[in-house]
Amino acid sequence: MDLICYKCENKEAGPATGLLTFLRHGRTGMNEKDIVIGSINDPLSDTGRKQAQSVAENLKEETGNYEFIISSPLSRAKETSAIIAETLDLEIFTDSRARERCVGEYEGKPDSPELLNKFLCEELPAPSAEPLSAFKQRVLEFLGEIIQKHSQRKLLVVTHTLPLIAIIGEIKGIKLEEAAKYKPDNCVPLRFYLKEKCSRCGSLFFEGVSK
């Protein structure tokens, strides 16, 4: 397998030392009604549970041998993680830094495409919303700790839209408004192979490409 740097697209030879797979939780009732969820604990819908079971079976067949799951503490992520953990026989650890950003007064109201950039790039009315700087800091601290401790392991992280976009922006070295175009779908794995730094840009994150 060849490895393509996610940041500069430089091609390098394998093997990878680790695999970090991110996953947005399965669909919820509020997702299906296009309602902003944010920090609300909204359980998976029947569709979301089926998505979680399907991706669990695919992960087991395609890559297998994950060592553990790190999950957001919000119920939709924990339920997704539990379904996957049962299929793959994995232990789940929760980390509050993987939770969705609290967007205050927007939660429970109709969603729209325009709100995504607002939630990623703007301060929202206090005191109920999480400050943007605090959101970015805890997500990047979370990513940094994973790389520091687990760069030679194989793990799955179940999280949410905004943290995933922030992570993609950091890995690709792009602004969040640009990273927003990579908004993840529910239960679609995003795999990052890890190895020694890219010889061109120094990134640790690679896409695996079959020879």
Active-site residues: which are they?
25, 100
Sheet holding 11-13, edge to edge: 11-13, 2-5, 205-209, 190-194, 18-24, 154-159, 68-71, 91-94
Going from the C-alpha of 83 to that of each of 33, 115, 153, the distances in angstroms are: 23, 30, 21
Going from the C-alpha of 91 to that of each of 64, 71, 72, the distances in angstroms are: 14, 10, 14
Give the Cα separation of 73 and 41 in Å (integer). 9
**Which residue type is seen at 157?**
V
- Contact at 8 Å (CB) between 123 and 131? yes
In the structure encoding, which two tokens stand for residue 120, read together? 């990623």
